[in-house]
A and B are shown apart, each in its own frame.
Chain A
Amino acid sequence: MKTDDRIHLARQGQWKPLPLIRDRRYRYALLLASVAYFCVAFLSIDVNWSRVAEGMSRAARFLSAFLQPDFTSRSQDIISGLLESLTMTFTSTVIGILLAIPVGVGAARNLAPLPIYLFCRSIIAISRTFQEVIIAILFVVMFGFGPLAGMMTLAFATVGFMAKLLAEDIEDIDERQVEAIRSTGARWLQLINYAVQPQVMPRLIGLAVYRLDINFRESAVIGIVGAGGIGATLNTSLSRYEYDTAAAILLIIIAIVMFTEYCSGYIRRWVQ
């Protein structure tokens, strides 16, 4: 619908909000395609409803376990798993960021020559495509069970995440400061140190704290495939149907994530 038509209709007292997709043909094609897909897909899903009905009593037990979580009977496992998760989180974030900084600088088009740019971008693409869990599986095969594999996984994922955002941030910096430093005859390293780094540092710290948060959440997951941490404990307690212990672990995870989220918000406000 053209704007003139719209104004004409509005003068007659008829008003319609703007459609989400401007092009009408595109809009209807998309609508038709999604309806067709949903029909086909819905029919192809088969659910074992009797099994689901059976599970309802377990769901009730699980919910009631949340009201009285059992922190004590497996406290040893919970504490060691938690400690492992936290150490993995911290070391992997530090290592990941140290590796991500050169990659990020290399992936910024305004600083790096084309071959280096392409190389760094492909590192980022590889690290971002696959799920942490899949990488964890491969690293567990290579490095054996335990937190080392988990740490490597998280560090690997951190590199892609941080380097991508850092590169975008460097590409967005104020060019005038770079020009000013360059005109003093500064070398490349001095240019990075005095023109680029001060501009991206607050955001880099903010992202680092955010990534710490993400890494903790992920560290709870990769334990499922044997890469150490609280996930292993959670997996065991669930497969033993010890819902009260599982509820306790989940509550601890939620509490820590909420705590880190609060802290990271505070730190980011303080830095910026």
Chain B
Amino acid sequence: MPVRYLDHSKSLATAKWSLKTRRQQWFSWLAWLIGVCLFILCWKLISDNTMWVFVEDAPKQGIDLISRMIPPQWDYTPNLWQPLWDTINIATFGTVLGILMAFPCAFLAARNTTPHPLIRSAALMLIVSSRSINSLIWAMLLVTILGPGLLAGILAIALRSIGFVGKLLYEAIEEIHPTPVEAITATGASRLQVMSYAVLPQVMPAFAGISIYRWDINIRESTVLGLVGAGGIGLQLNGAINTLAWDKVSVIFILIFATVLVSEWISAKVRKAFL
């Protein structure tokens, strides 16, 4: 980093050293001022829309909530195995479907494999829109269209996964080593052969890692899809919350927690097994 001086004194002995020039100091001061003003403005908007009476007894409510959750109603657990199985299936099939759709998308979106810049921007558009809408919103849409059930959940997870897998995969494709591609091209290979012998082997480990990682995330996400009617354990959660059965809610929470831990463990194990 170049040494900067606050004042323009001629000799080094009298010059004052500072990290930033005067202009940078002004700029950062202004940025802080704008940030703080914005924060105060936003805070005011939020506090205007808040019933402070409710907030005042929040600690009491919190303690009350926890006391209702303990002890968990363990004999409720057998009713949860089926929804939990459904949740895992939603996550897995959703991931698989999402990957199947994301795979071609990523090749169309990567700068070095796309057939045309126009197709590239269309694929990028698809990836961004899939990523900007949360799976819960996808589920909400699909439940109104397809009716409640597992299918809506699977499709919601799939549609959401396209963006994630697609983005990471096309970045991996853009980062591949060009020499194998040149070598295969030099043998007179067709476009498809270049893909399968030069590009695919290079991105395959990244692709497998990304897929497993997304599956892990999807397990988490599919636990709440039931809140909007898309099947799985969230449906049970919704029912328990609506009937204020907090001792059942705590059982569901513990089960979700355990499932997430196990899926994380599996995903870490499988990723380690890859090349």
Contacts and interface: CB of A to CB of B under 8 A. Distances in A.
A140 B49 CA distance: 14
Given A22-B275, A41-B92, A224 B38 contact: no
B256 interface: yes
A221 B50 CA distance: 19
B134 A220 contact: yes
B193 interface: no
A30 B256 contact: no
B76 interface: no
Interface stretch (B7-15, B107-115, B141-149, B170-178): B141-149
Chain B binding surface, main DSSP class:
helix
A224 B128 contact: no
A94 interface: yes
A234 B137 CA distance: 9
Interface of B: 35, 38-39, 41-43, 45-47, 49-51, 54-55, 58, 61-62, 65, 85-86, 88-89, 92-93, 128-129, 131-134, 136-137, 140-141, 144-147, 149-151, 154, 197, 201, 204-205, 208, 220-221, 223-224, 227-228, 237, 241, 253, 256-257, 260, 270, 273-275
A30 B267 CA distance: 12
Interface string A122-149: 0000000111011001100111101110
A225 to B, nearest CB: 7
A129 to B, nearest CB: 6
A244 interface: no
B141 A221 contact: no
Nearest to A56: B145
Contact of B54 (A48, A143, A228, A254): A143
Interface in A143-159: 143-144, 146-148, 151
A95 to B, nearest CB: 9
A109 to B, nearest CB: 19
Given A87-B45, A129-B257, A21 B145 contact: no
Contacts of B128: 254, 257-258, 261
Nearest to A46: B150
Contacts of A35: none
A62 B197 contact: no
Interface of A: 17-23, 26, 30, 37-38, 41-42, 44-48, 51-52, 54-55, 58-59, 62, 83-84, 86-88, 90-91, 94, 129-131, 133-134, 137-138, 141-144, 146-148, 151, 217-218, 220-221, 224-225, 228, 231, 234-235, 238-239, 241, 246, 250, 253-254, 257-258, 261
A147 B129 CA distance: 25
B22 to A, nearest CB: 20
Given A20-B275, A261-B128, A47 B134 contact: no
What are the nearest 7 A-B pairs in CB distance? A144-B54, A257-B132, A87-B42, A51-B147, A148-B50, A55-B146, A221-B134
Contact of B93 (A41, A246, A261): A41
A87 B46 contact: yes
Contacts of A129: 257, 260
Given A41-B89, A62-B141, A20 B132 contact: no
A198 to B, nearest CB: 9
Contacts of A30: 270, 273
